[in-house]
Amino acid sequence: MQNNSRFQDQVAIVTGAGSGIGGSTAKLLARDGARVLLVDINQADVEVVASEIREEGGTASVAVSDVSIEEQVQRAVAQAVSEWGSVHLLVNNAASFVQKGVDATVEEWCKPWKTNLLGAALFTRFAYPFMRESGAGAIVNVASTSGLAGEANYATYNSSKAALLLFTQCAAVDLGLHNIRVNAVSPGVTVTPGLRAAIKRSGSTYEEFERTWPEKQCLRGLCQPEDVAQSIAFLLSQDARCITGANLVVDVGLMAKK
Ligand SMILES: NC(=O)c1ccc[n+]([C@@H]2O[C@H](COP(=O)([O-])OP(=O)(O)OC[C@H]3O[C@@H](n4cnc5c(N)ncnc54)[C@H](O)[C@@H]3O)[C@@H](O)[C@H]2O)c1
């Protein structure tokens, strides 16, 4: 177990912590001293990540909650406060990957917007009063390079991430008054169970993807969840104390290359 204490005595909530980037972030924050509430709709997966944290000597609790349901979000925040007294750090990472174009149905629009935007907004709303009470706080919203440009048949997902980026800036304005920083991290392609499922849905294989995709990036190689977790942790830490309303793109140079 890494013994960095940059988040000692801090209480963190990470949504979508049962897999991929959320799981890696929860582990990193716990290694760096935070007590972490892991939120996910998938109980089996999130319990595994929480157990791994405890085995490493970290402090973790689980809330099985859907980020898009107000009462469940309120209950999850209350759980962190009742267990550990406050909330200082929040990572809005859970996402729906419904990717449809202009023919999307109402349901196909609602799923990603409710999970990716409303979920982040609800957690922010219920968590920030505790950050304000303790004099400071930091929030990171996990957006995507998909929120920075158009793509065929991705309108539902990409627009939800673009909205999340603007929500990040608006929340940074509102919460700056209370010494709470709000930033976004926009991963490019990152090797997670979510990515593997998307490749499968597209009819391709991971091996083919691994062979062809890196040519689109400035650097070869693919981003791992731990790489994104490091950027999230940086923005949550005091090293980023002058950064708010920003979007840190972690994409191996995908957006830089034409
Ligand atoms: N993997 C990538 O290539 C990539 C690229 C850009 C952005 N992102 C973003 O990074 C974040 C994490 O992605 P990932 O690839 O690690 O995903 P993942 O599918 O591996 O994990 C997502 C987790 O969120 C949980 N979740 C989904 N809906 C939820 C809900 N309504 N309430 C609570 N939990 C819910 C899932 O159960 C799962 O455990 C997402 O915001 C995603 O949009 C990922």
pLDDT per position as a tens digit, 154-169: 999 999 999 999 999 9
| pTM exceeds cut of 0.85 | yes
| pLDDT score of 71 more than 70 | yes
Instruction: Tell me, in angstroms, the distance from the centre of ligand 1 to residue 16's CA.
Output: 6
- Ligand 1 centroid to Cα of residue 94, in Å, is 5
Q: Give the residue numbers marked as catalytic.
A: 157
Contact 41, 64 (CB under 8 A): yes
Q: Say how many Å lie between the CA of residue 93 and the centre of ligand 1.
A: 6
pLDDT at 65 over 80: yes
**Ligand 1 pocket test, candidate residues 43, 71, 93, most atoms within 8 A of CB:** 93
Reported confidence tier of residue 202, pLDDT bands at 50, 70, 90: confident
What percentage of the chain carries pLDDT values higher than 70?
A: 99
pLDDT at 235: 98
Amino acid at 17: A
Q: What are 32-64's pLDDT values in tens digits?
A: 999 999 999 999 999 999 999 999 999 999 999
Extract the tokens encoding 110: 């609602």
Q: Which residues line ligand 1 (CB under 6 A)?
A: 15-16, 18-22, 39-42, 45, 66-68, 93-96, 115, 142, 144, 187, 189-190, 192-195
% of the chain beyond a pLDDT of 90: 97
What is the mean predicted confidence (pLDDT) over 164-185?
98
Residues in the chain: 258
For ligand 1, the distance from its centroid to the CA atom of residue 29, given in whole angstroms, is 18
Domains with residue ranges and CATH for the chain:
11-188+223-249 (3.40.50.720)
Q: Which residue among 71, 97, 195 is best mutated to probe the pocket of ligand 1, counting the most ligand atoms within 8 A of its Cβ?
A: 195
3-class state of residue 218 by DSSP: coil
Residue type, 118: L
Contacts of 107 (CB under 8 A, 6+ apart): none
Rg (CA), the chain: 17
Confidence class for position 1, pLDDT limits 50, 70, 90: very low
